[in-house]
Amino acid sequence: MPSVKVYDMAGKETGSVELSEKLFGAEVNEAVLHMAVRAYLSNQRQGTQSTLTRAEVSGGGIKPWRQKGTGRARQGSTRSPQWTHGGVALGPKPRTYKLSLNKKVRAIALQSALSSKCAAEEIKVVDAIATSEFKTKTMVNMLAAIGAGKKALVVLPENDKMIIKSFANIPGVKTTLANNLNVYDILNSGSLVIAKPAIEIIEEVYAK
């Protein structure tokens, strides 16, 4: 069973905690991780890009010149794609980029992401993350003290606006809730900083 050290906000080691073998000690499936990241990024796309075809551009209803005898190429409309201000041929239209993964694949992807972080020793557990004021400096000092680096994903047990806003101005740092993890954010972080109370929630929600 994987075990990681636990620190306080000053960076002092206060003990260790054992993590779920199923979540943090699983075999890393890179193919499933690729599928999960691809699906996440695709689902962020709005798919609202659109261009006007020759049928949708206003004007162009009259033939610009007669069919024969001018020495020029025949033209039927000034809104054909080869004309300036004409329609766009084969341009993008609104569409959905949504990709879905079944429940089992999503579970394997999350287990693989957490396990890869654990194997790389990039998980930092803090016994309690707390602040009595909106203070970015407090959180910067905590991340430096525990050696979290410049890019981190902070996992909280509950929605604490004071803590979240204190992290908000730190470049490269993102916060999330224990019951709202996603594979992309985990892999995209340098360090995974988890508040100790959040571990129980993670194991309860995802280790089924």
Whether residue 175 lies inside any domain: the answer is: yes
DSSP state of 87: P
Q: Indicate whether 207 pLDDT > 90.
A: no
Whether residue 34 lies inside any domain: the answer is: no
CATH number at residue 196: 3.40.1370.10
C-alpha–C-alpha distance, residues 63 and 72, integer Å: 13
For residue 159, the model assigns a pLDDT of 92
Mean pLDDT in residue range 133-148 = 93
| pLDDT mean across residues, the chain | 94
Bridge partners of 123? 192
Mean pLDDT in residue range 4-25 = 92
Split at pLDDT 50, 70, 90, the class of 1 is: confident
Bridge partners of 66? none
Mean pLDDT in residue range 112-140 = 93
Whether residue 90 lies inside any domain: the answer is: no
CA proximity to 94, closest of 50, 55, 41: 50
For residue 150, the model assigns a pLDDT of 84
**In this predicted model, what pLDDT tens digit does every residue of 27-46 receive, in sequence order?**
999 999 999 999 999 999 99
- 180: containing domain: 3-28+103-206
Whether residue 13 lies inside any domain: the answer is: yes
Q: Indicate whether 2 pLDDT > 90.
A: no
Residue 3 three-state SS: strand
Number of domains the chain contains = 1
Whether residue 53 lies inside any domain: the answer is: no
Q: Which pTM does this prediction carry?
A: 0.83
Whether residue 194 lies inside any domain: the answer is: yes
Q: Indicate whether 208 pLDDT > 80.
A: no
**pLDDT above 90 covers what percent of the chain?**
90
Whether residue 86 lies inside any domain: the answer is: no
Record the tokens describing residue 50, joined without a space.
């659109």
For residue 57, the model assigns a pLDDT of 95
The single-letter code of the amino acid at 7 is Y
DSSP secondary structure, 123-152, as one string: EEEES----SS--HHHHHHHHHHTT--SSE
For residue 149, the model assigns a pLDDT of 81
For residue 38, the model assigns a pLDDT of 97
> Are the C-beta atoms of residues 37 and 52 closer than 8 Å to each other?
no
**In this predicted model, what pLDDT tens digit does every residue of 48-90 receive, in sequence order?**
999 999 999 999 889 999 999 999 999 999 999 999 999 999 9
Whether residue 38 lies inside any domain: the answer is: no
